[in-house]
Amino acid sequence: MLGRLVPIQAASTVWKTAAVGSSGPDFLNAAVMIETELAPEGLREQILRPIENLLGRIRTRDPNSPRTIDLDILVYDGEILEPDLWNYAHIGVPVAEILPDLTHPETGESVSHIAEQLITQSRIENTDLKLHWTSPTRNII
């Protein structure tokens, strides 16, 4: 669905992890790199939230509650918008697949190096699932 709205440049494999912050079911996690001229807020409001809504996402007060889908902007134009990228396998490992040379702004460690550590410290497993996408079918900008 996302690939019909914005060009996808790369996609990670899909990873299965335990829920973080709740006792809910396991989550499936992946990362994609897209191309857009939209600013982060425009991307969130014009593309990501409508997709979440279409796929049945119901927002609650608990940001860690189980949900059908959660689309986040983790890195934008080289700037890390999600500081937990370095702390949680469900974020860092998929990002490391598509941006292995991304470095921590303070330590200089690459996300791929940190992902290796996160894999050994977390319950995370690679699945056989692959993300599939198509080219954009309309101009959104």
Which one from 70, 77, 101, 138 is the annotated catalytic residue?
A: 70
> By the 8 A CB rule, do 139 and 113 touch?
no
CA distance 77 to 70: 21
Residue 57 falls in the annotated catalytic set: yes
Residue located via tokens 């709205």? 5
Contacts of range 113-121, beta carbons closer than 8 Å, 24 or more positions apart: 114/86, 115/89, 118/87, 118/88, 118/89, 118/92, 118/93, 119/89, 119/93, 121/89
Which one from 59, 62, 72, 84 is the annotated catalytic residue?
A: 72
Which letter does DSSP use for residue 26 in this model?
Answer: -
Residue 72 falls in the annotated catalytic set: yes
Which one from 4, 44, 49, 67 is the annotated catalytic residue?
A: 67
Residues annotated as part of the active site: 57, 67, 70, 72
